Chain A
Amino acid sequence: AQTVTQSQPEMSVQEAETVTLSCTYDTSESDYYLFWYKQPPSRQMILVIRQEAYKQQNATENRFSVNFQKAAKSFSLKISDSQLGDAAMYFCAYRSVAGGTSYGKLTFGQGTILTVHP
């Protein structure tokens, strides 16, 4: 079974600065998807960025980018030019491409609370 680990329970950053959130995972599969979701105090789960394991190029979405290291099974999220609205809990998630009884299952990490200081 796959596991996802976020080793930073809390992180903080100054507005306009850059912060990196860490995520590692364990899997024996060679193809899969990885995601970062954001959960602000409103509790809505918002997709931040996605990465297909077969792609070597790191995904980027505006101020958000990932550092995907497949061999190291590491998937960190970098937030540039941090804004007050980035304050939230961030979850890393793994999705297998396998079918059967695991079809579509997202396995989440424990989450990292990000605080943005003005």
Chain B
Amino acid sequence: DTAVSQTPKYLVTQMGNDKSIKCEQNLGHDTMYWYKQDSKKFLKIMFSYNNKELIINETVPNRFSPKSPDKAHLNLHINSLELGDSAVYFCASSGRLAGYTDTQYFGPGTRLTVL
């Protein structure tokens, strides 16, 4: 009965490679997000999608491309990985749940390590 799931949980790759992280939510939410948590544990939003439409794009390099095939999925593709991309990436979703449309629920995170 996982609410927000991400795959993989760990990703180790070489510089220059292309990788994807997948996110799925079964909460019936209509908005999904990607956050990045850096080595100092600081969390910052990258993207948000509402009903498959891109809403937020927070000055993220073009190498990062989110894709939302449907309301339940938001994937993150990263091209030409760099050392500085090493971080934990969190997917989150929000929508009508017990009357609260504002609360975001997070996935378990994907720890990306670029060597």
Contact = CB atoms under 8 A, between A and B. Distances in A.
A32 to B, nearest CB: 9
B55 A101 contact: yes
Interface string B57-80: 010000000000000000000000
Contact of A108 (B43, B105, B108): B43
A76 B97 CA distance: 25
Contacts of A111: 41-42
B50 A35 contact: no
A103 B56 contact: yes
Interface of B: 31, 33, 35, 40-45, 48, 50, 55-56, 58, 88, 90, 92, 94, 100, 102-106, 108-109, 111
A102 B56 CA distance: 6
Contact of B102 (A33, A39, A43): A33
B43 A43 contact: no
Contacts, number: 65
Given A103-B48, A104-B94, A104-B104, A110 B56 contact: no
Given A101-B56, A104-B31, A104-B55, A45 B90 contact: yes
Contacts of A102: 56
Interface of A: 33, 35, 37, 39, 42-47, 50, 89, 91, 95, 97, 101-108, 110-111
Contacts of A97: 102
B6 to A, nearest CB: 11
A50 B97 CA distance: 14
Nearest to B9: A43
Nearest to B100: A50
A89 B40 CA distance: 12
Contacts of B43: 91, 106, 108
5 contacts: A44-B108, A103-B48, A104-B102, A105-B48, A105-B56
